[in-house]
């Protein structure tokens, strides 16, 4: 199968077959302070850099023949814009909203508005941390949440979202009624 992916900072690499309309496209969004992975609070977030994490995600995406678009921002507004842009260009979203998990109604509303299957990911277990981190505004509009498994959580999210999207496609194909004979013959 072809491999397609978008690397951070707008570098795009694709196989010609990736333009096929059935190719799954997933946007991966890293929220605030995740650009500091590997150097920030290593006892909580580990030593893996964001570039290394993106490389692992890209490697799995290639294996799954999924096009991924990997982005990081410290700006709530930019994350909202990227979620909205995904509506017509992507099949699903993986997001680590980081601290915005607990505060951003705007990100929650953007995810709800676009209606794309979304998986929320956290490197640390937000439910074992400070009380204010226990509440997620995103969980209610996501199809799932993975928390506390470190970088592996992103890979599980990618595999899980991929499988969810494939199952949804299969279900649509089996539940779509065949055209009536009149319609098929072009009769009115």
Domain that holds residue 176: 5-185
The pLDDT score that the predictor gives to residue 38 is: 87
The pLDDT score that the predictor gives to residue 125 is: 81
Q: Over range 76-89, report the average pLDDT.
A: 98
CA separation for the pair 87, 92 (Å, rounded) = 9
The pLDDT score that the predictor gives to residue 21 is: 59
**67 or 185, greater pLDDT:** 67
For residue range 29-72, what is the model confidence (pLDDT) as tens digits? 999 999 999 887 767 767 789 999 999 999 999 999 999 999 99
For the packed helices 76-89 and 105-114, what is the interaxial angle rounded to 10 degrees? 10
CATH of residue 62's domain is 3.40.50.9100
Give the ranges where 65-136 is alpha helix by DSSP (H): 76-89, 105-114
The pLDDT score that the predictor gives to residue 20 is: 52
For residue range 147-181, what is the model confidence (pLDDT) as tens digits? 999 999 999 999 999 999 999 999 888 876 666 55
Alpha carbons within 13 angstroms on the beta-carbon side of residue 131 total 0
**137 or 100, greater pLDDT:** 100
| Residues classed as catalytic | 45, 122
pLDDT band at 137 (very low <50, low <70, confident <90, very high): confident
Q: What pTM did the predictor assign?
A: 0.79
What stretch of H or E contains 20? none
For residue range 85-129, what is the model confidence (pLDDT) as tens digits? 999 999 999 999 999 998 799 999 999 999 999 999 999 887 766
pLDDT at 7 over 50: no
Domain count, the chain: 1
CA separation for the pair 106, 83 (Å, rounded) = 11
Q: Over range 2-24, report the average pLDDT.
A: 51
List the structure tokens of 44.
Answer: 């909580």
């Amino acid at each position: 199968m072809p491999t397609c992916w978008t690397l951070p900072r707008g570098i795009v690499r694709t196989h010609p077959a990736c333009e096929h309309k059935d190719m799954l496209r997933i946007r991966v969004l890293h929220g605030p302070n995740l650009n500091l992975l590997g150097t920030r609070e290593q006892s909580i977030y580990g030593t893996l850099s964001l570039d290394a994490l993106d490389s692992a995600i890209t490697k799995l995406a290639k294996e799954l023949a999924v096009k991924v678009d990997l982005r990081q921002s410290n700006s709530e507004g930019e994350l909202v814009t990227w979620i909205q842009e995904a509506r017509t260009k992507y099949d699903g979203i993986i997001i680590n909203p980081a601290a915005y998990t607990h505060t951003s109604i705007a990100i929650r509303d953007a995810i709800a508005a676009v209606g794309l299957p979304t998986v929320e990911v956290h490197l640390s277990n937000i439910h074992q941390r400070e009380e204010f981190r226990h509440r997620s505004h995103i969980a209610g509009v996501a199809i799932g949440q993975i928390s506390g498994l470190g970088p592996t959580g992103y890979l599980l999210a990618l595999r899980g979202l991929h499988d969810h999207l494939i199952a949804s496609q299969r279900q649509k194909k089996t539940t779509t009624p065949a055209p009536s004979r009149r319609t098929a013959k072009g009769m009115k």
